[in-house]
Amino acid sequence: MSIKVAIIVNEDLEKVWECWTQPEHIKEWYHPSDSWYVPSAEVDFKVGGKFKIKLAAMDKSGAGAFDGTYTKIELHQKICFDIDDGRKVVVDFETVDNGILVTEQFEPSPNQPREAQEMGWQILLRSFKDYVEN
């Protein structure tokens, strides 16, 4: 069973879409806390294109990567991708009264507790919201 997280971003759809899809923006928001950063983000934003996001702790205590392949793109509406470990993700963008509702639905990893994964993905959405709105 998949996990779903969502957040409303108080900004116009074009800006939300750009900040979600462009590497210069991803480097600014795709981190779980202020003690982490993104030293590099590569995005080939097309169906069949790949993305590679590298994460690192500011104190050099850890590092990681989030890589995948885009499988479907509907401009300003939906992005589907497969993470390199085979899990599938769907991101929807919907205009609502007070902004853009961004919803991510993903297959959980069997290697981590569901609650931890849900919390982690929700934290990334909050980081995205904070970046786009400021």
Over residues 35-92, the pLDDT tens digits come to: 999 999 999 999 999 999 999 999 999 999 999 999 999 999 999 999 999 999 999 9
Residue 60 neighbours by CB under 8 Å, 6+ apart: none
Per-residue confidence (pLDDT) for residue 36, from 0 to 100: 96
32 has pLDDT over 90: no
Q: Tens digit of pLDDT for each residue in 108-125?
A: 999 999 999 999 999 999
pLDDT at 13: 98
List the chain domain ranges.
3-133
How many residues are there in the chain? Answer: 134
Other beta carbons within 10 angstroms of residue 65's beta carbon come to: 11
The CATH superfamily holding the domain 3-133 is: START domain (3.30.530.20)
Please state the rounded mean pLDDT for residues 119-134.
97
What is the pLDDT at residue 27? 98
pLDDT tens digits, 2-16:
999 999 999 999 999
